[in-house]
Every structure is written in C-alpha cells, then in structure tokens.
Structure 1
C-alpha cells in the first residue's frame, strides 16, 4: 500500500514561483515543504482526476467535505479522519437584508456560512486540520509543529491526536486560556511564548529546525488551501452559484486564497464562475492590512504597493485569534483583493459586544469575537458603498462563542439578582 501512495498519480504539487513539480506530499515533506529549485514555500496542488464527475458530486446531502474525495490530495480512503466538517449550512440572514433595505435602499441576498457548526472544534479551521491529519497518517508523519493564535492550534491538536501525531503548539502570551486548556486536554504539548504571534512563529520555526520536525507553512500551506477550497463546491451545491461579495475577518488570509484556487481549478467546467469581491475585515486593535490598504488607496495603488505594510508589535486587542501584527501574506492577499475589486475595512472593538448581542438575539446563535468582526464588516461595507443593489453577499461565520468563554460571559444582559420571588 505504501508503494501505491508513494507512486501515486492522482495529484502533484506545482511551485507557484518557478513551476517545479513535486510528485506527492511524501516528496513535499522530504523537501521540508519548499521548492528545491527556487526555495519558495508556495506550491499548489493540481489533479490528474477527471472533472466531468464534479457536477455529480455537487449534489445530495454529504456528511463532510470528504464527499469531494476525488479532488482532495489523499490517495487511500482508509486514511480519512473526519468529525463531520466542511459541509455546514449556508443560512439566509434576513435581518441583515432588512437593514440594508431600510438604511440604504438595497435589495440584497445575504447568507452566513456557519463554520461554527463544524463537527471538530466548531471553527473555520476544522477542514484544514482534518485533511492534514489524514495526509500525515497516509505518509506516516508522527511529529508536527504549529504556531497559532488559537483556533488553528485547537483544531490541529484534536485531529492530529486522532491520527496519532504528536503536535507541538506555540501560542503567543495573549492567547485564550480556553484554547490552551483544550489543546492540553488532547495530550498535545503547548508552549506559551512570551511575546506576540510573530514571536511565537519565530520560536516555533527554530524549534522545528532544531528537532527536524515538519511545521505549518502558514496561510499558503497547500493542505489548508485544498481543504478550504471546498467551500466553492459547497456554494455551488447549496446556492447554485458563487456570491458577488465575500466578507471575512482576516488574520492571515487562507480563505480568499483557497476560494481563488477553487475557482481557478474548476473554471473550465463552470466558465461563468468567478471570484467574488473580497472584503477583508480587521478590528482597530490589530489592523496592519487595513492601514496598508488605506495608504495604498490614498496613493492610487502605486507599483509595488503590496510590499508596503506596517508591522504592529505586541498588538493590544480583544480578538486575539486575529492578532497577526506582521501580515506576511499581505503581498499576496492585497493583490487578489484589488483584482476582484474588493477592499479592506476596519471595525471598532467597542462595537464587539453590542453587535454580538444583536446577532445572538436575531439569529439565536452566539458568535465568537472573530465572527462578530466579520459581521461588522458587512455594516461598514454598506457605509462605504462597497455592496451594490441586487447582489448576493456571503458572510463567513468562522467560530462560535464556545471558543471564547470570556466573550460569551459579556453577553449577559437580562440577569437580575434576587433573593425571593417577590422581587
């Protein structure tokens, strides 16, 4: 069986820089996840599988994203690890539509992509962790290292523990304690780094180098991209189309990169399918991408604008899962956002709790802080005239409040303290 995996012809990885072809993930790991020709860590997965069957897969009521197995980089189904992730409901959120109509005269179709209902850890990260665990199992990988502000680490810790892979997790000092406790409960090693996320990544990289352990390559990781591209398949399955606008709270930006990859991959089969306008949202507690975008926009987007971005050391924010002060993927993300006619917008953290309460009241679900940032982006996009009449908007609900107990506690507003029934 190992020979079959080693010599597989289902997929290959192609360097986004020089075009060098890596034949399998086994070879990719042997190369320590970089191109041996040019040194780039950015390679994309492509398939020798026929896409004529894809319309048949975009039907039915699948239990998880492995429904799209022919278009995922795993050779043998017996290596699949799943906790029912990746086929979450896409809900119509009428209260956002009604607001847009009342305040701006816009008739919109607004949908929420409910990643908080993923079966693993209830976050946007579950699909990537499920694919990673399965690929590691197939390639007999026993050690892995990841730096994370919380949600990615929690998902990887769970799924890798199921696969029998030891995962060393490096978290910044302001990471949520609940995430640390969850990771530790799975038996995975946690290192709380005294510093911000950038420092955690630095220490993790040195640890991985010294101990010869594979480490996540971050937002351009082909495993993450391949897992999250399946949201495009889900749009087609549940809506029959891609949205005109896609809104997401952004830390690094795998989401839009994955959407772009998915659409490029099946464009020959669906010629009318195109990228939505990407509206990326950051809070004012940590907004380096927004700052960079506003500067570039004011200067008319000069050549090389994507290379000019600030670095925020030790950001002070109430949304630690989005606290990427050094946005290394901005050069890639910003060009994609500009190409689609999208934008980066900022929300005020002082609005987090009131908006979280509003969402909970209207939709009977309690969003996590990052999800609340995303929904705030919808309101700001309306204010900035970034959404047009008649458009379909997709809002990515990346997590629920269960991932952030401190945030959930602030939702209390109907409680009265009493000593007897007369009060």
Structure 2
C-alpha cells in the first residue's frame, strides 16, 4: 500500500491512516493521500493490461494494505460506449456513456462499497451504520454480508421498494424513517454516538471516495490515457464527481495524462439543487434545500457534507452545475432507451437532459467529446416507466400499427 496519510482538504491537518477515524477535528471530510512517486515506479500502464478487469487493477492507488482483505464481487471496468444514434439525433458528434448499471448491485455504489468495506475489514470494524436513499445501502449491505460485518441501514420510507428488499435479504438491520436522507443521517449519528459503531455515511469515512475515483481512472484508461472535454455527473452527495476529479489530479501528478482536464458538470434536479444554487451564486458551499423532492431519488440530498469539494472540482475545471426538472429527466430516460437500447436510471438520464441544454446554449460544442455518467440500471426504477401495451385475446391478431 502506498498511502502516505489522511488529510483534511479544509485545514490541511494530517492523520495516520492506520487509525479508525471519521472526520477531521474541524468537521471536514478526510481524503487519502498517496506517495505517487512510488506508485509511478511500482505500476506501469502496460502492467494494467495483464490484470483482471475489476477496479482492483488499480490497487496501488487504493488504500488496502493486504490483498487478503479485499472484498470483491467483480465490480469495475464498466463500458464506455458511444451513443451514435442519440448523438445524431441531438447534434453531438462524440457522445459517450459510462454505464455503471451493469456492475454488482446494479449501481456505481458498489465501487465505494468494495473499497470502504475492504478497508473496514482491514481495520477490524465489525459493525457499521449508514443512512441511504437506497442504492448505497443495498451495496454496502451486500459487501458487508460478504465480509462478515454487521450493517445497520436507515433509509427514507419513500425509497424504492427494491432497495428495501435488497438490503433486507442480506440480513442487514434495516430501519425506515418518515423523512429524508438528512433525517436518516441524524438517527445514524445518534446511534453511532451511543453504541460506538463505525459511521459509513457519505464522506464521514475516507475510503468510499477511493472506490468512486476509479470511474475517473477507467475513463482515462479507456480513452487511451487522455480525457474527454466534458463529463456530466448526477450529483447528490457528490462523492462520484469529487472522486473523478481526485483520480485525474493523481494521474496528472504521475504524468500519466496531460495538463488538460475535462470540464466537470454537476447535474441535479430542480426539486433538490443546492449545488446548482451555490454555483449560480458563486459560493464555496451550499445551503440546506427545504422540501426536497424528485423522481431521481438517488440525488435527493438537501445538503452534502462535501459540497465545498464538489464546487471546487467544478470551479477548477471551468465546469458548471445544471438543474433538470422531472419531466425532462423522464423524457431523456425514454429517448436514450429508444435510440440506444440502454435502460438507465433517472439520475443518469439527467445528464443527457443537461447535455442537450448545454449544447443548445453553446457551452458544449458539437464536436467536443462528452461523457455522460449513468450511475445505475433503470431496472431498479420500474415506477419511472408507464407503458400500457394492448391486451390480446388468444384468437386476436396483431395489428400492423
């Protein structure tokens, strides 16, 4: 392992990575820092070609010391596909999707779970607790089951039914709250303080982000160690966009990619857009979003702990933040499926709706390489599709249309 220490991105205080720790004493999230000069000597691009197609191929840039502690279900190396049909339809010449819907548990949350749970196992943690809008809970419950770690999951009662079943079948302790993820977080915080459990809430432990950053590593590798012009990311807690930014900065420091960075776009819903509001107001952090509601349930996060890191990534890459209403989200989800055959989650669909807006405004140029991040499979969101096919009797014939 090439971890140097844990570091606070706000006050720059450092911590020993071998201690069980949650946040900096100033209350900010901690991030993992590596001895990148040593990583560069130990790992080559050619060596990666001989390794299995999972995110653990980048193990020198991940925080687990002993490979015996890795808890893996085969996650990572998701496809980066061209959307030629959709591109022609909308006016893009180089439109791509990074499709996270095909990995274990059906969403990108598996990336954070495999690294977070593996490190928890290595640190001897036997019980962890977390609030979730659904998908993260499903992923962490699955990986905890494989690791032999007890998980306690609290989610809003309005979370998709499939997420409740996904968590429950693993044997996790599941609780529902009549409220939002912020309310679930308060319940978890009280339990953590009372029972001494490890808090696996978004960015309250340093390792989830390390799993999420592998999306950025994969994009760079899949594009021949260069980067696209624009990456659009559905943003709730923001760990994915923070992780992609961190990954590309590390690759730059190692000399594996050039000076160019993609313009990062945080996409939110009009019913819950604290990052967009902060960006529009040129602020460094967001305010709590009251009465948050959207069909893209996974990005219904009224206030992200790492909001300042999301905004830093956007500002530093000359990116932007865009809010999409539910009608445009569902329309985009259908357009993608009909043009390309990909049934993606509503969160992922927001990125296509946002890309079309930015293309129309001239912010994205038609020839630029644009990557949409789909964070999960649409199969977890059957409620977003309302189709009533004709019912035939056994003696009926199909009409010509």
Q: Same fold (TM over 0.5)?
A: yes
Q: Choose which of 92, 96, 105 in structure 1 pairs with 2:82.
A: 92
Q: Can you give the 5+ residue segments of structure 1 that lack an aligned partner in the other structure?
A: 1-7
Q: Choose which of 193, 204, 220 in structure 1 pairs with 2:177.
A: 193
| Structure 1 equivalent of residue 16 of structure 2 | 23
Q: Choose which of 362, 378, 394 in structure 2 pairs with 1:385.
A: 362
- Separation (CA, whole Å) in 1 of partners of 2:265 and 2:327: 21
Task: Tell me how far 1:220 sits from its aligned partner.
Answer: 6.8
1:105-149 superposed Cα distances (whole Å, 9 cap, x missing partner): x6x31111010011x201011111011121122222100011111
| Structure 2 equivalent of residue 275 of structure 1 | 261
- The 5 Å alignment of 1:229-240 reads 229-240=213-224
- Separation (CA, whole Å) in 1 of partners of 2:148 and 2:56: 20
- The 5 Å alignment of 1:125-274 reads 125-219=109-203, 221-240=205-224, 241-268=226-253, 269-270=255-256, 272-274=258-260
Change (3 A) 1:391 1:61: farther
Contact kept in structure 2, 1:45 and 1:73, CA below 8 Å: no
Alignment partner of 1:402 is 2:379: yes
Task: Tell me how far 1:379 sits from its aligned partner.
Answer: 1.3
Q: Can you give the 5+ residue segments of structure 2 that lack an aligned partner in the other structure?
A: none
Q: Choose which of 40, 46, 49 in structure 2 pairs with 1:51.
A: 40
Task: Tell me how far 1:246 sits from its aligned partner.
Answer: 0.4
Change (3 A) 1:332 1:220: farther
What is the aligned residue count? 393
Contact kept in structure 1, 2:23 and 2:204, CA below 8 Å: no
| Normalised TM-score (structure 2) | 0.91
Greater shift, 162-171 or 317-326, is seen at 317-326
| Normalised TM-score (structure 1) | 0.86
Contact kept in structure 2, 1:125 and 1:152, CA below 8 Å: yes
Task: Tell me how far 1:276 sits from its aligned partner.
Answer: 1.1
Indicate the RMSD between aligned Cα atoms, in angstroms.
2.2
Change (3 A) 1:60 1:243: farther
- Separation (CA, whole Å) in 1 of partners of 2:330 and 2:395: 30
SS at match of 1:247: strand
| Structure 2 equivalent of residue 3 of structure 1 | none
Change (3 A) 1:9 1:112: closer
- Separation (CA, whole Å) in 2 of partners of 1:393 and 1:257: 18
Alignment partner of 1:292 is 2:278: yes
